[in-house]
Amino acid sequence: KAGVTQTPRYLIKTRGQQVTLSCSPISGHRSVSWYQQTPGQGLQFLFEYFSETQRNKGNFPGRFSGRQFSNSRSEMNVSTLELGDSALYLCASSLEDRTYEQFFGPGTRLTVL
Amino acid sequence: QKEVEQNSGPLSVPEGAIASLNCTYSDRGSQSFFWYRQYSGKSPELIMFIYSNGDKEDGRFTAQLNKASQYVSLLIRDSQPSDSATYLCAVNRNNNDMRFGAGTRLTVKP
């Protein structure tokens, strides 16, 4: 079974631009979560989608948004990029069962200049 | 108070020793608990999950959970240099609302 895939793997943007990242979950997984990882803040939860609905949300500004499609694929968008948005963005998928084991994709490395 | 706290380390153990990693969490209603291993430049990899009080063993790894003390630990027996990585504790608060600790960096010296 294929793992979680994320595209693109690397991105370079400038301040003020916007960016869209994509995540395809493991087949059969309907929950997709997004995280931001930086050396200073660690792994921070952005939001989680299930059945095309945002079910959980972390403490990030409204510039960070996401959506999920009927095939469970998900996108996240960051508008008006800031230097501090430079990070590794990770997507994880899980089955909807009581354990919620999450499996991560390889991540998208975003650099904001 | 942070939602999930771990000692940042680094924790250094000799090859063959037991490595002990600890984690505390603040939300008493949390339901399931996870340990991830992350090698430098790679994404986190799930090692263990536990949701009942007590111990859970899987090969060289044992996860321990004490909900009354809001404490989770991971023991790695017969540590190998390949175990050198950052170990992340994660807590599922409710319906896949997952929070991570900052991670403990483990070095296993040959």
Chain B residues close to A107, C-beta within 8 Å: 43
The predicted structure's pLDDT at residue B26: 94
pLDDT tens per residue across span A51-98? 999 998 999 999 999 999 999 999 999 999 999 999 999 999 998 766
Q: Which of B43, B45, B96 sits opposite A33 (nearest CB)?
A: B96
Q: Is the pLDDT of residue A1 over 80?
A: no
The predicted structure's pLDDT at residue A101: 85
Stretch A17-43: mean pLDDT: 94
What is the rounded CA–CA span in Å between residue A5 and residue B7? 31
A50-69 residues touching B, CB cutoff 8 A: 50, 55-56
User: Cα B104 from chain centroid?
Assistant: 8
CB atoms within 10 A of CB B11: 16
Q: Which of A56, A102, A107 sits opposite B95 (nearest CB)?
A: A56
Write out the DSSP string of B54-100: EEEEETTEEEEEETTTTEEEEEESS--GGG-EEEEEEEE-STT-EEE
* pLDDT < 70: residue spans in chain B: none
Reported for A36-43, long-range contacts at CB under 8 A and 24+ positions apart, including other chains, are A36/A60, A36/A87, A36/A88, A36/A89, A36/A90, A37/A87, A37/A88, A37/A89, A37/A90, A37/A107, A38/A86, A38/A87, A38/A88, A42/B100, A42/B101, A42/B102, A42/B103, A43/A90, A43/B44, A43/B88, A43/B100, A43/B103
Q: What is the DSSP letter of A2?
A: -
Tell which wins on pLDDT, A40 or B34: B34
The residue of chain B nearest to residue A56, with distances taken between CA atoms, is B97
Beta-sheet strand order (sheet of A74-78): A5-7, A19-24, A74-78, A64-68
What is the rounded CA–CA span in Å between residue B28 and residue A63? 31
The predicted structure's pLDDT at residue A98: 62
Query: Residue type for A92, please?
Result: A
Q: Is the pLDDT of residue A11 over 90?
A: yes
Q: Is the pLDDT of residue A14 over 90?
A: yes
What is the rounded CA–CA span in Å between residue A96 and residue B64? 24
Which of B3, B23, B43, B89 is the mutation pick for testing A, counting most A CBs within 10 A? B43
Q: Is the pLDDT of residue A105 over 90?
A: yes
CA-to-CA separations, A35 to A45, A59, B78, B98, in angstroms, rounded: 5, 11, 32, 10
Contact between chains at A42 and B103 (C-beta distance less than 8 A): yes
Q: Which of B46, B102, B103 sits opposite A101 (nearest CB)?
A: B46
Contact between chains at B101 and A42 (C-beta distance less than 8 A): yes
Please enumerate residues of B whose Cβ is less than 8 A from a Cβ of A: 31-32, 34, 36, 42-46, 49, 51, 88, 90, 92, 95-103
Q: Which of B43, B97, B102 sits opposite A106 (nearest CB)?
A: B43
The predicted structure's pLDDT at residue A96: 72
